[in-house]
Amino acid sequence: MGYKISMKDKITGVRANLILNSNCDWVREVVVEINSKYQGVGSSPVGETKSIYESQKEGKVLKDINKYLKEKLCGHIFSQESFDKLIFTDRGKLTSGLVYSLSSAFFYARVKARRISPVRLLTNGGKVGQPKILLNVLNGGLHAYTNAVYSDFSEYLLVPVKNDIEQLIADYHKLYSLIKEKLRLCPKRVVGGNVVSYLGRSNDSVFDFLTDVLEREKCNKRYTIMVDASAGNFYKEGQYYLPVTKKKMNSEMMINYWQKISLKYSVSILEDPLAETDMDSWQELYGNLVKSSIKVFLVGDNLFCSDVERLKINGCKKMINGTLIKPDQAVTVSRFREYWKEAKRQGLLTVASHRSVETESLLVSHLASALKIDFIKVGPLSNYNAVYKLNEIIRNKSDE
């Protein structure tokens, strides 16, 4: 076809600059030049909270990073795979964020050199998919900003039954308007320095709220509910210390709670309902859901941290049937693809995801479309970063 992701290119220039992310904090942006002509740009997002496995990947930024990158990379010829392998093994002298920026910058330089779209290069000219959009509608925990509610759990999302973006956007406007009006009338509390709407003293109140909203707008047949609990953030010494409601629960209590929620409400996806180190409980919850014939996807995020080696070792232990994939956690374009392949080999539901603090990078949209990932989290659509990513998904499909 004239272009393949395995084709090689010569690096003729590389530099790291400083730019601002969505929190207005300084981050490194990398520019990679190939074949003395084509430049690609890459920058890394970051999560406000990190898995214990993610923090283990971090290296230390060298003082003279531009000198090091030029000496290490310039003049050498790479495919995407060989480039990613080199910089990944060298991440001890860099940070995983900088390695991710290098990998994506090299990828986008190769896109320019071939005068094609990013998804065309990723698919070698094959068909492009369109992931279903997970609608972020409520946020809880200690870092909630958009539609913030009194809840221990980080995110509440709507899961579309059908993949119809026009219908989804029409429903979004109706639902969002009703949600904003109902939240406006709620009493307020201060949680983690943020003002949140108080729906009730338990997390069940949030599920009741969403169920009512969906029924009132006659959307309850088109959407189910997903919750991202980020339970590892409040797990310590074998106990769950819920940060907002101030309750203390052991693993058995958490397992029973999620089983109850899955039976009582139209919940179809549970993301990180348990801590990443509480692995026996993951297996028990998964087994109980299967035995009870409860059709819920148990999705691991912090459990695997987009690390293909961890997925290979632990994914077969019957503790999940779905997994999140975050490009910056996978660290390189090639390792994202490897993780996705292993997830599909294991028959897992795949969910691509943005991070809470973003840059202008659209790589997650390109990877999700090219690899036909099942769902994608882009963030609240009231945030233009999310709309930016959604627009690219729409463009990707029209590029076929």
CATH number of the domain that residue 72 is part of: 3.30.390.10
Q: What is the mean pLDDT of residues 196-216?
A: 98
Cα gap 376→162, rounded to integer Å:
14
User: Do 82 and 164 lie in a common domain?
Assistant: no
For residue 107, give every residue at least 6 positions away whose Cβ sits within 8 Å of its Cβ, in sequence order, or none: 40, 42, 80, 118, 121, 333, 363
Q: What is the mean pLDDT of residues 344-363?
A: 96
Query: Residue 222 — very low, low, confident or very high, per pLDDT cuts 50/70/90?
Result: very high
User: Do 63 and 175 lie in a common domain?
Assistant: no
Q: What is the mean pLDDT of residues 92-104?
A: 92
The per-residue pLDDT for 316 is 77
Residue 126 lies in a domain: no
For residue 81, give every residue at least 6 positions away whose Cβ sits within 8 Å of its Cβ, in sequence order, or none: 5, 6, 334
User: Do 286 and 154 lie in a common domain?
Assistant: yes
User: Do 231 and 322 lie in a common domain?
Assistant: yes
DSSP string, 202-265: STHHHHHHHHHHHHHTT-TTTEEEEEE--GGGGEETTEEE-TTT--EE-HHHHHHHHHHHHHHS
Each residue of 73-92: b (16+ CB within 10 Å) or e? beeeebbbbebbebbbeebe
The last residue of one of the domains, among 68, 85, 115, is 115
CA contacts within 13 A on the Cβ side of 370: 21
- Count the neighbouring beta carbons within 10 Å of the beta carbon of residue 292: 12
User: Do 153 and 110 lie in a common domain?
Assistant: no
User: Do 289 and 180 lie in a common domain?
Assistant: yes
- Largest Cα span, the chain: 63
Residue 120 lies in a domain: no
* CATH code of 353's domain: 3.20.20.120
Residue 127 lies in a domain: no
**147-170: per-residue pLDDT in tens?**
999 999 999 999 999 999 999 999
The per-residue pLDDT for 2 is 44
The per-residue pLDDT for 347 is 96
Cα gap 200→211, rounded to integer Å:
14
**12-70: per-residue pLDDT in tens?**
999 999 999 999 999 999 999 999 999 999 999 988 777 777 654 444 555 688 999 99
Residue 125 lies in a domain: no
The per-residue pLDDT for 16 is 93
User: Do 72 and 201 lie in a common domain?
Assistant: no
Is the pLDDT at 172 greater than 70? The verdict is yes
User: Do 147 and 187 lie in a common domain?
Assistant: yes
Query: Residue 232 — very low, low, confident or very high, per pLDDT cuts 50/70/90?
Result: very high
Residue 123 lies in a domain: no
Residue 86, phi-psi category: left (phi > 0), alpha (psi -120 to 50), beta (remainder): alpha
Query: Residue 93 — very low, low, confident or very high, per pLDDT cuts 50/70/90?
Result: confident
The per-residue pLDDT for 6 is 66
Cα gap 196→140, rounded to integer Å:
8
The last residue of one of the domains, among 58, 81, 115, is 115
Q: Confirm or deny that 271 is annotated as ligand binding.
A: yes
- Is residue 72 within 8 Å of 90, Cβ to Cβ? yes
- Is residue 153 within 8 Å of 203, Cβ to Cβ? yes
**Residue of 358, 314, 369 lying closest to 336 (CA atoms):** 369
**112-157: per-residue pLDDT in tens?**
999 999 999 999 888 999 999 999 999 999 989 899 999 999 999 9
DSSP string, 290-346: HHTT---EEEESTTTTT-HHHHHHHTTSSS-SEEEE-HHHH-SHHHHHHHHHHHHHT
Residue 340 lies in a domain: yes
User: Do 310 and 363 lie in a common domain?
Assistant: yes
- Count the neighbouring beta carbons within 10 Å of the beta carbon of residue 286: 19
Tokens standing for residue 194 = 């943020």
The last residue of one of the domains, among 115, 143, 169, is 115
User: Do 280 and 316 lie in a common domain?
Assistant: yes
Cα gap 91→56, rounded to integer Å:
11
Is the pLDDT at 228 greater than 50? The verdict is yes
Residue 3 lies in a domain: no
**257-301: per-residue pLDDT in tens?**
999 999 999 999 999 999 999 999 999 999 999 999 999 999 999
C-alpha torsion angle, residues 388, 394, 398, 399 (rounded to 10) = 50
- Is residue 145 within 8 Å of 155, Cβ to Cβ? no
Query: Residue 5 — very low, low, confident or very high, per pLDDT cuts 50/70/90?
Result: low
In the 3-class helix/strand/coil scheme, how is 43-87 assigned residue by residue?
A: ECCECCCCCHHHHCCCCCCCCCHHHHHHHHHCCCEECHHHHHHHH
Using alpha carbons only, give the angle 92, 6, 350 rounded to the nearest 5 degrees: 70
User: Do 347 and 248 lie in a common domain?
Assistant: yes
Cα gap 27→6, rounded to integer Å:
30
User: Do 180 and 101 lie in a common domain?
Assistant: no
Tokens standing for residue 244 = 């907002």
Domain count, the chain: 2
Decide which of 221 and 3 is more confident.
221
Parent domain of 91: 9-115
Residue 121 lies in a domain: no
